Amino acid sequence: MSILRSMLFVPGDSEKKLAKGAGIGADALILDLEDAVAAARRPLAREMICEYLSSADRARSELWVRMNPLDSADALRDVAAVVRARPDGIALPKCNGPEDVVQLSHWLDVLEVEHAIPAGSIEICAIATETAVAPFALGRYKGAPRLRILTWGAEDLAAALGASTNKDAAGDYTAPYVLARSLCLFGAYAAGVQGLDTVQPDFRNPAKLREECNEARRDGFLGKIAIHPDQVAVINECFTPSAEEIAHAQVVIDAFKANPDAGTLSLDGKMIDMPHLKQAERLMSIVTRRT
């Protein structure tokens, strides 16, 4: 299973933006049926997304679809309409917990059979902090069927909490949203799935985007969602290990391989131990899963 550094939202009812999406360089596109599409245009958007899924080059980007929330009238209509075109995955917004993932997976079970799609082919990305109850479930996603990605959303959470803003004067997230971000990261690793950082809504501020990407990668996220094509290159760069990082990780791994009974070693005048080996192995696994 490959690591997705970048997932770009693309409105499902915009022919121009759908056509442009393939050349952006995002590891995945999220063809949107929720926030980016007015309710009256969703039937049209479903058809446009199906046409796009049926003709697009899957070698360039994975193709996902963001449905509407499970408790909405559009949810089942969305999934039933797009599954026939075999998206790589479904992004589930306003996810309250693993039970929502299970429900969506049941729908996909039936629809895959109906359309002669191999069982379990369509994966799920849970956007798992957009309601007030959702953060309390972030430690319970282990074993959730089809789940590949756990990500978080700050904008809908702020609306759910009635907050006037989710940022402080310096443009950094305030305490409730830092908590949601942290719990999402913990939850992803506890579940054994990829943790993906949320969007930077100010797409005209590449410096802030780079800062958020570097902080997210430092903390353990493996990628970030983009809301504008101009964000993708920065995200891909920040979440791609450098040649120097790869070389250092290989040196650490080789050092412990040459000394299998050692718990600690000296490398370049510094002590390294098992946590350093685990970090090196993790980085190399990311590189392997990117190729």
Residue 250 and residue 246: Cα distance in Å, rounded? 6
Query: Residue 1 burial by CB count (10 A; 0-12/13-18/19+): exposed, middle or buried?
Result: exposed
Helix (H, G, I), strand (E, B) or coil at 69: coil
Tokens 């040649």 -> residue: 243
Selection from 23, 59, 62, 10 nearest residue 226 by Cα: 10
Helix (H, G, I), strand (E, B) or coil at 224: strand
Residue 170 and residue 185: Cα distance in Å, rounded? 23
Per DSSP, helices labelled H in the chain are: 15-21, 42-55, 75-82, 98-114, 155-161, 175-191, 206-219, 232-238, 243-258, 274-290
Residue 184 and residue 139: Cα distance in Å, rounded? 8
- The encoded tokens of residue 44 equal 């049209």
Residue 9 and residue 13: Cα distance in Å, rounded? 12
Cβ proximity of 208 and 238 under 8 Å: no
Residue 273 among the catalytic residues = yes
What DSSP character marks residue 63? E
Selection from 3, 9, 4, 1 nearest residue 200 by Cα: 9
- The encoded tokens of residue 157 equal 């959470």
* 190-to-76, 100, 214 alpha-carbon distances in Å: 29, 18, 22
The residues annotated as belonging to the active site are 273
